[in-house]
Structure 1
Amino acid sequence: MQAPAPPQAPPATWTRANKDSVGSTLQGPRVWFTAAEGMLTEVFYPRIDIPQLKLLNFIIADDAGFWCELGGMDGHVIEEPMVGVPALIVRHRHPRFEFTLKICPDPARDVILIDAHLEGDPTLRPYAYALPRVGENAEHNQAAIGQSANLRALLAWQGPFGLALMAAHEGEDGWRRLSVGHLEASDLASDFRRHGRMTWTYDQAGPGQVVLGGELPRRVTLALGFCTSAQSAATLAHSALVDPFDDAWDTHIRQWRSWLAQIIPPEGMAPRLWAQLLRSAMVLKTHKDHTFTGAMVASLSTPWGHVSTQRGGYHLVWARDLVESAGAFFALALPGEAHEVLRYLIATQQPDGHWHQNQWLGGKPYWSGIQLDEVGFPVLLAAKLAACDALGGTPVLPMIRAALRFLLLEGPVSPQDRWEEDPGLNAFTLAVIIAALVEGAAFLDQQTRDFVLGLADEWNACIEDWLYVSGTAIAARIGVHGYYVRIAPPEVLDDHAALAMPLPIRNRADGAAPPAADQVALDFLQLVRFGLRRADDVRIRDTLKVADALLKVDTPCGPVWHRYTGDGYGEHADGTPYDGTGIGRGWPLLTGERGHYALAAGEDAQPYLEAMDAMAGRGGLLPEQVWDTDPIPALGLFPGRPTGSVQPLVWAHGEFIKLAYSQAAGHAIDRPEGVWQRYGGKVPRRPFCSWNPRHPHHRLPQGLMLRLVLPAPALVHFGYDDWHTPTDVLARDCGLDVWYVDLPTADLAVGQRIVFTFQWQRDGRWEGRDYALTVVPAAPDAQD
């Protein structure tokens, strides 16, 4: 009998984002699970970016009208079979019963196994219901009751994907009564809400948001199988139920225990922090795909998933997060894991040298922005592997050359900062791309290397001219001379006064657009971490005072920092979820970054490690954000504890790992050594003034040569003032298909101009406009 559908389908949302557990096998089977609120939540198959199930929950009921849903019910506890092993024990406790779930993936099949045991009042029975999200569109799912040999199956399918939920007890069919239905119309939970017991027994449902459900014995093993059809999924699920659950459980634990045994604790690490480090290593490993080797998603979670219908969530690949995680594998002395990441990045680099803002595992972009730090990070990864003699035979030069060319032609202005919002110049991004130029130059011939290093030196020398502001009301209030701003608009290349321009904060409902000079972030700390500035540089110390005054929140778990002033990415003041606007909350990730600065300043990083650990959720997973103001108990929001944004954030776990090993080493272990050797934290002298048509500017500091950086061969026609003494010169290739001309401007006086245009040699086309730069007084020497 066909189950009735609702007049209007409810929104196809996900479950809550703050997970208690995530899990997968080490390799082989292609299934990943999450758990939250005491139940199984999103399950992914056959790739880590394709969720196929929203949740699997249980109801405990008798025949007298008592019933309760377990997911979200107070009174459950979660346990690990062993620290760092991605398997889960959940104990639901109620005055009338205790219901225990053991959840793990089958080590040999694309199946999730759940062993369930109800104890207590003998009149009670368990019921299970599952919400499939098979295939691309939840509204097109189909469901039915099927059969596999002597076991019945609850089936769901759409297109090339199928799911089967089966149950067994001592080799016999575990299901008592079965039913399929439509969400909020004819599903098992709606049946109980309406009748206080199970009354419906539909055998077909869909298309729509279908629900699978049925009655179970008090002791049962469930198998949730996935394959290319529902019947194939049933065959896998049935196969998994043939052997005892404990066999799969023990094998899974043994395999993970062997992998974790490779990890050596940092010297002197406290047991609690060592446990968190093992969990963090597991989180990184669990978020790797088993088809696209080396690919990792940012999280097996969707921000504020219980109100979100978006498909992407955080189960997408960001090149930045990927390399940050690879750095954590280096810290764990697992360079082979990092090498897999590099190979994946080489395969997904775009022809012009950049990587997508984020993407599905196969390389299809999700968002289309460009962030220059995501172009620089893969170069740093290749350089790190080379420094460790861990590249093997992997050819990295084509990737490095393409990435460097993109940086040279597009930098120093990034279309987006690392928080994926504004175009301009940002300290974190500049630190990464300058470091990439320096580290990547080591792979090049001498002539090309000198050219690339020259641009790196120039951009490094200009950081203060672009990003440092003094004499503001903020500086006066806090008692400092000046500070680095969060981001400078592109116009700052032409005029430092552009820092007074309003800069809209995109995720604020009030449309706030304070001047760039009034916006502060912790991004400047990357200048110290990567060796471009010293920790005791007065500008760094003053900016830290400003950042601590404006961004730091002391919570019962320890200090935490906001991303930047005015951030709107977080819950609203009343605790309701972010909906495109909100109020940014504290990020444990930034506590780790602050801890890395403490090391550079000769301080102890231990308090920052302890704070990050204290901010972890109940299963030890680190969240993206924590609540940072008065508690709202009704919404589960408490100071220093996870909010409704993503948990776990893989990047945060990677930062914890790196901080732990950096603490033992006495310095940031991801500091690029070539950068440190070249700069040692000191500002280099500016070798010239560069110009390119991508970011044209009109001011030339007195005493500097002008270097034109062009994307193609060109004849440059230039003169002085009103085209006096016109001259033609051909651009030269630096060796990366980046062309340049050095114009003699060092002897020009303040007020003089150099004018130029060019003819593109590949098609003979003239640029069609004249450019002019006016000589201005040189900026004060930024060196200490």
Structure 2
Amino acid sequence: MNTPATDVSRAAPGWPGIAPTWTSSAKDLVTTALGRGRVWASIGHGILNEVYWPSAGEPQVRDLGFIVASPGRWHELKRIRQYRLSLQQPFIPLPRIVHEGDGYRLELNLSPDPIRDVLLVAFRLEGTDLKLYTLLAPHLGGSGLRNNARAADGLVAWTDGVALHLAADCGFSRASAGYVGSSDGWQDFAHHGRMDWTFQDALDGNVALTGELGACAGVLALGFAPTQEGAGTLARSSLAEGFSSVRRSCAAAWQAWATKVIIPEAPEPVRREAWLSAAMLKVHEGRSYPGALIASLSIPWGNTSDSTGGYHLVWTRDAVEAAFALLAIGCVEDARRVLEYLIATQRADGSWSQNSFPDGRPFWSGVQLDEVGFPVLLAAKLAEQGAIDGLTGVTEMIGRAVRYLARHGPGSPQDRWEENAGISPFTLGVEIAALVTAAEHLPAAESAYALSLADYWNERLEDWTYIENGTFSPAFDIDGYYVRIAAPLLEGGLRGRIDISNRPGSSTPVVALIGMECLYLARLGLRNARDRRIQNTVKVIDGLLRVQTPHGIAYRRYNGDGYGEHEDGAPFDGTGVGRLWPLLTGERAHLDLLLGIDTLPWLEMMTQMTGPGGLIPEQVWDADPVPGPGLEPGKPTGSAMPLVWAHAEFLKLLIARHQQRPIELLAGVERRYRGRRPEAATWHWRRTQPFDALPAGRELLIENPEPFQLHYGFDGWREVTDQSSEASAFAIHAVRFDNADVAGHSVLDFTFYFPESHRWAGIDYQILLGEPDTGVTRS
């Protein structure tokens, strides 16, 4: 067991240390246990990177690395990067890492403890006259600031309410606490070529701990608790049980979970990637908050920032994408837990936070309407498979979500990339599908209204997002295409401009911005994959966004994207160049699936764009190699890795290939639309979504969130009348005009009076009756 460090003296110099950062997001693997233990760990460059406790949303350690030293020579392993990582089974994320270099071989085996908040590392160093040193960088409380470190009985760190203890079964011959950049272990070796410092304390700063291990083989235990004493007790208890027993228990739990997973036949590299992807989804689920599926156990370009954010947060969209994948591979209970979590974290108004910590606390404050619609789609999919029985609160959740969509759609304050307000084909498609599937769970009046609104939005989808004879039409010999996102209708819609995020001061006409958003329309069953408009847009997508790399085809999010490394490979810092997204390879492949084309080549390409451990990244590099940061064409960048959404997309594509049907294609949507644009019986006019003409044979609802009096007349303000609105479904107030009400008239003139606030709208509107809408509102 641990023995007290010897020759330990005085407080470390160099307070408070350099500005802290996290580590690179280029991970080899992430892992956790499936028992009561609440530790998650990432592995990168062959060592432990961020370690999370007591939830997957709370990183507490920057990294835990190693120095191998002999007389006159020393090697920090994370910088040398000469190692191999392997798994006994791809669905058991317990890695064996072997570092080999000049005169040494270090084998590391990792296992979280299933019953304690402890991570064990078994080590064995081989070579002549060698010593092994640990380098531990605490980031307790989610930051490298205001940490405290002490070299005493083991290596100890603490801050308010959080503590860690690194113990070794062979003890530490010597230990030291220091400040990063001045008196830490790396600086010691860099200055002296050996471990020379033995400082006892480093307080209230960016701290580090160094330990000389008492033997070349043994076990390290990294324990976490609210108190220093508790962390030490847990670490020593885990050592007492022994590494073999702990690892055996951890592996058995993963093996038992894997018996529920169904992976169809495919070439072995694809099947292996599928098993690993399934495990990656499971790794990212919370323990204290079951169903809280975070987006990634990583911090994109974390080696440049100490942000408390990163991707270790729950995004409703990413969680549902993962839940669909879990459902597809047979993990029904796991998918149900995601829905239970979403029911619990829905806000009173029916929406969800843009993202949140696993306990439900919001992090960012934006609203994305696809994130309001996705939980409804998940509930509908579970219901479709007979897997919703016993869940309570589902109907109430659906009602609140649809109320929010009905009152605030179709335009969203943010699109799925969290960058722009407007009408995106992707977001609108999710909204429409949610309205249709929700109808089965709503009272009659609300059901009828939801279907009416869905039909109207679906009919208008092209009016709002498809440009005839746009900027790219001549180059691709097409008559039109879907845009990435249209500006809000009152800001010009298809005639408006869109700001390019991460490129300050840059904007572009809506018609000059292309993304892959429209492909989901076919996947959801709203449009046929062979629809001329979809096929037109694919020509532009493949022409502008598609890049062939040595490892396969991948796509940019949109032309002009600025989210990615700079041209020279420098990390994204708020500006950059958008790189390639493997998950978009999966989205493009789903269209081929719907066209009857085998998607195996796409799956194989996604398999080849992974990191050293098989993890699928958020982005891959798309330019010439840059040796310094290790950027290679078609291989991961410093963006998030693993990306849960990307692993989910891979699994969904594999299962869809087997079933010949996208997972997201819901029976209710398919029955109603069969991939065709409908003709809505009723058009819904709102001041935020106006139109200037009503086609013949359609009824008209003039709507507003608050009560109003409609002051109206016909054909130049003749036959002037006032009519009070009536509350309809979802507390939307409306005045209805059926065909008889407008018969014999060519123009409806109107304005609003709001009795609750005693004010007039101050604008006169008119609608041409029996005419197609031109997209320009007359007032």
Given the two structures, how large is their TM-score scaled by the length of structure 2? 0.95
Q: CA deviation at 1:773?
A: 2.5
Q: CA deviation at 1:557?
A: 1.2
Which residue among 444, 447, 469 is the counterpart of 2:445? 447
Query: What is residue 687 of structure 1 aligned with on the other side?
Result: 681
Q: Is the 8 A contact 1:708 1:741 kept in 2?
A: yes
Q: Is the 8 A contact 1:49 1:315 kept in 2?
A: yes
SS class of match (1:429): helix
Using the TM superposition, name which of 699-708 and 473-482 deviates more: 699-708
Q: Does 1:112 align with 2:119?
A: yes
Query: What is residue 458 of structure 1 aligned with on the other side?
Result: 456
Query: What is residue 642 of structure 1 aligned with on the other side?
Result: 636
Q: CA deviation at 1:749?
A: 8.3
Q: Does 1:403 align with 2:401?
A: yes
Q: Does 1:202 align with 2:208?
A: no
Pair 750,153 (structure 1): closer, same or farther in 2 beyond 3 Å: farther
Pair 744,83 (structure 1): closer, same or farther in 2 beyond 3 Å: closer
Q: Is the 8 A contact 1:107 1:248 kept in 2?
A: yes
Query: What is residue 605 of structure 1 aligned with on the other side?
Result: 599
Equivalent position amino acid for 2:435 in 1: L
Mapped to 2, the partners of 1:440 and 1:315 lie a distance apart of 30
Query: What is residue 381 of structure 2 aligned with on the other side?
Result: 384
Q: Is the 8 A contact 1:23 1:34 kept in 2?
A: yes
Q: Is the 8 A contact 2:22 2:304 kept in 1?
A: yes
Cα-to-partner distance string for 1:424-479 (whole Å, 9 max, x where unaligned): 11000011000000000111122221111011001000111111112234110111
Equivalent position amino acid for 1:277 in 2: A
Query: What is residue 165 of structure 1 aligned with on the other side?
Result: 166
Which residue among 48, 54, 58 is the counterpart of 1:50? 58
Cα-to-partner distance string for 1:397-422 (whole Å, 9 max, x where unaligned): 21111111111111111111100011
Residues 199-238 of structure 1: matches in 2 within 5 Å?
199-216=196-213, 217-238=215-236
Mapped to 2, the partners of 1:548 and 1:593 lie a distance apart of 12
Number of residue pairs the alignment of both structures matches: 762
Equivalent position amino acid for 1:328 in 2: A
Pair 401,44 (structure 1): closer, same or farther in 2 beyond 3 Å: same
Query: What is residue 539 of structure 2 aligned with on the other side?
Result: 545
Mapped to 1, the partners of 2:743 and 2:44 lie a distance apart of 68
Equivalent position amino acid for 2:232 in 1: A
Residues 301-312 of structure 1: matches in 2 within 5 Å?
301-312=298-309
Query: What is residue 35 of structure 1 aligned with on the other side?
Result: 43
Which residue among 618, 624, 628 is the counterpart of 1:624? 618
Mapped to 1, the partners of 2:308 and 2:29 lie a distance apart of 21
Query: What is residue 317 of structure 2 aligned with on the other side?
Result: 320
Equivalent position amino acid for 1:669 in 2: I
Residues 712-751 of structure 1: matches in 2 within 5 Å?
712-720=706-714, 723-744=717-738, 747=742
Pair 308,387 (structure 1): closer, same or farther in 2 beyond 3 Å: same
Q: Is the 8 A contact 1:702 1:749 kept in 2?
A: no
Query: What is residue 141 of structure 1 aligned with on the other side?
Result: 147
Query: What is residue 6 of structure 2 aligned with on the other side?
Result: none
Q: Is the 8 A contact 1:719 1:755 kept in 2?
A: yes
Pair 771,3 (structure 1): closer, same or farther in 2 beyond 3 Å: farther
SS class of match (1:532): coil
Q: Does 1:662 align with 2:656?
A: yes
Q: Is the 8 A contact 1:78 1:91 kept in 2?
A: yes
Cα-to-partner distance string for 1:214-242 (whole Å, 9 max, x where unaligned): 11111121000000111110000010111
SS class of match (2:364): coil
Pair 421,748 (structure 1): closer, same or farther in 2 beyond 3 Å: farther
Residues 474-493 of structure 1: matches in 2 within 5 Å?
474-491=472-489
Q: Is the 8 A contact 1:319 1:377 kept in 2?
A: yes
Which residue among 313, 325, 330 is the counterpart of 1:333? 330
Cα-to-partner distance string for 1:344-370 (whole Å, 9 max, x where unaligned): 111111111111111112222211111
Q: Is the 8 A contact 2:714 2:745 kept in 1?
A: no
Q: Does 1:705 align with 2:699?
A: yes
Q: CA deviation at 1:243?
A: 2.3
Q: Is the 8 A contact 1:494 1:698 kept in 2?
A: no
Pair 494,76 (structure 1): closer, same or farther in 2 beyond 3 Å: closer
Q: CA deviation at 1:722?
A: 5.1
Q: Does 1:242 align with 2:236?
A: no
Query: What is residue 431 of structure 2 aligned with on the other side?
Result: 433
Mapped to 2, the partners of 1:770 and 1:214 lie a distance apart of 74
Q: What are the ranges of 5 or more consecutive residues in structure 2 without an aligned counterpart?
A: 1-8
Equivalent position amino acid for 1:448 in 2: E
Query: What is residue 5 of structure 2 aligned with on the other side?
Result: none
Query: What is residue 65 of structure 1 aligned with on the other side?
Result: 72
Residues 277-316 of structure 1: matches in 2 within 5 Å?
277-316=274-313
Q: What are the ranges of 5 or more consecutive residues in structure 1 without an aligned counterpart?
A: 147-151
Query: What is residue 652 of structure 1 aligned with on the other side?
Result: 646
Q: CA deviation at 1:629?
A: 1.8
Q: CA deviation at 1:735?
A: 3.6
Which residue among 470, 473, 476 is the counterpart of 1:472? 470
Query: What is residue 500 of structure 2 aligned with on the other side?
Result: 505
Using the TM superposition, name which of 433-442 and 467-476 deviates more: 467-476
Residues 125-136 of structure 1: matches in 2 within 5 Å?
125-136=131-142
Q: Does 1:575 align with 2:569?
A: yes
SS class of match (1:194): helix
SS class of match (1:421): coil
Q: Is the 8 A contact 2:611 2:635 kept in 1?
A: yes
SS class of match (1:638): coil
Query: What is residue 175 of structure 2 aligned with on the other side?
Result: 178
Cα-to-partner distance string for 1:544-598 (whole Å, 9 max, x where unaligned): 0010000000111111111011111011111111111111111000011111111
SS class of match (1:18): coil
Q: Is the 8 A contact 2:562 2:576 kept in 1?
A: yes
Equivalent position amino acid for 2:343 in 1: I
Equivalent position amino acid for 1:27 in 2: G
Mapped to 2, the partners of 1:668 and 1:378 lie a distance apart of 17
Mapped to 1, the partners of 2:184 and 2:591 lie a distance apart of 54
Pair 771,5 (structure 1): closer, same or farther in 2 beyond 3 Å: farther
SS class of match (1:274): helix
Q: Does 1:23 align with 2:31?
A: yes
Q: Is the 8 A contact 1:702 1:748 kept in 2?
A: no
Pair 5,711 (structure 1): closer, same or farther in 2 beyond 3 Å: farther
SS class of match (2:507): coil
Q: CA deviation at 1:685?
A: 0.7
Q: CA deviation at 1:770?
A: 4.4
Cα-to-partner distance string for 1:126-158 (whole Å, 9 max, x where unaligned): 011100011144221111134xxxxx2211000
SS class of match (2:568): coil
Which residue among 264, 267, 271 is the counterpart of 1:270? 267
Mapped to 2, the partners of 1:280 and 1:518 lie a distance apart of 36
Q: Is the 8 A contact 1:93 1:99 kept in 2?
A: yes
Equivalent position amino acid for 2:75 in 1: C
Using the TM superposition, name which of 744-753 and 156-165 deviates more: 744-753
Pair 240,8 (structure 1): closer, same or farther in 2 beyond 3 Å: closer
Mapped to 2, the partners of 1:559 and 1:398 lie a distance apart of 43
Q: Is the 8 A contact 1:721 1:755 kept in 2?
A: no
Using the TM superposition, name which of 251-260 and 742-751 deviates more: 742-751
Mapped to 1, the partners of 2:99 and 2:737 lie a distance apart of 75
Considering only aligned residues, what root-mean-square deviation do their CA atoms show, in Å?
1.9
Q: Is the 8 A contact 1:409 1:709 kept in 2?
A: no
Mapped to 2, the partners of 1:271 and 1:265 lie a distance apart of 11
Q: Is the 8 A contact 2:157 2:163 kept in 1?
A: yes
Q: Is the 8 A contact 1:5 1:186 kept in 2?
A: yes
Pair 303,294 (structure 1): closer, same or farther in 2 beyond 3 Å: same
Mapped to 2, the partners of 1:710 and 1:697 lie a distance apart of 11
Equivalent position amino acid for 2:140 in 1: V
Query: What is residue 361 of structure 1 aligned with on the other side?
Result: 358
SS class of match (1:488): coil
Cα-to-partner distance string for 1:709-732 (whole Å, 9 max, x where unaligned): 332444434333554323333433
Given the two structures, how large is their TM-score scaled by the length of structure 1? 0.94
Give % identity. 41
Query: What is residue 530 of structure 1 aligned with on the other side?
Result: 524
